[in-house]
Amino acid sequence: SANGTGRAPRAELKREMKYFLVDNERDVALVDELFTAVTTRVWALVSRVEGTFEFDVQSIREYFAARYLFDRSPTSQTGAGVFNTFLETAARPYWANTARFMSGLFRYGEKAQLADDLIAGIDESKSRFWPRRFGQTLVQDGIFDDQLRSQRRLIESCFDESGLRIAVREIH
């Protein structure tokens, strides 16, 4: 985006769309049709500043950021790349919604490691509040509903002695 504003000029968007189509072995002639679809029919992109476009809804921007980070994370033999990217994103409250979207992209077999990494983050973090709060949010989002053991371990970690004190303070 232009200068980190979340806006991109028309030419830049069309160029990125062409790159995407080429990378996915699709017809680049579709660019104009796709651009028209997302700007006039679907209204996913809007022009608030002359000559630039941005996502109309913040959560759409966050979803695509999550998808981009998840899909473009470096790979490794252990698969740590995407987990590290997730943890770095989740550690920043400003990026919480993007990290929440990312967590929903992990497959069934990856969620135990995701829970393990979150628990390790709770245990190792200098911040007592944020890692616990974020873990609670993912449990509430249903990310671990199909992983009951991992879900239980994460809940126990979120509500350890420090977590219980934090939760009691939030109630009052």
pLDDT in tens, 145-170: 999 999 999 999 999 988 888 878 87
Return the axis-axis angle of helices 96-103 and 130-141, rounded to nearest 10°: 40
Assign 146 to helix, strand or coil: coil
Task: Count Cβ atoms below 10 Å from residue 144 Cβ, excluding itself.
Answer: 23
- Residues 85, 73: contact at Cβ < 8 Å? yes
Assign 116 to helix, strand or coil: helix
Tell me which DSSP letter residue 40 carries.
I
Residue 5: its pLDDT value, please? 66
Residue 144: its pLDDT value, please? 96
- Residues 121, 101: contact at Cβ < 8 Å? no
Residue with the larger pLDDT of the pair 83 and 42: 83
CA distance 61 to 120: 29
Residue 39: its pLDDT value, please? 65
Residues 34-53 have a mean pLDDT of 70
Provide the mean pLDDT of the chain: 84
Residue with the larger pLDDT of the pair 46 and 65: 65
Query: What pTM, to 2 d.p., does this model score?
Result: 0.70
Residue 3 confidence (pLDDT) above 70: no
Q: What is the pLDDT of residues 111-147, one digit of tens each?
A: 999 999 999 999 988 788 899 999 999 999 999 999 9
Residues 28-54 have a mean pLDDT of 73
Q: Which residues contact 139 (CB under 8 A, 6 or more apart)?
A: 151, 154, 155, 158
Q: What angle is formed at CA 108 by the lines to CA 106 and CA 111, rounded to 5 degrees?
A: 60
Q: In which band, very low, low, confident or very high, does the pLDDT at 85 lie, cut at 50, 70 and 90? A: very high
User: What are the start-end ranges of the H helices in 91-160?
Assistant: 96-103, 111-124, 130-141, 148-158
Residue with the larger pLDDT of the pair 9 and 62: 62
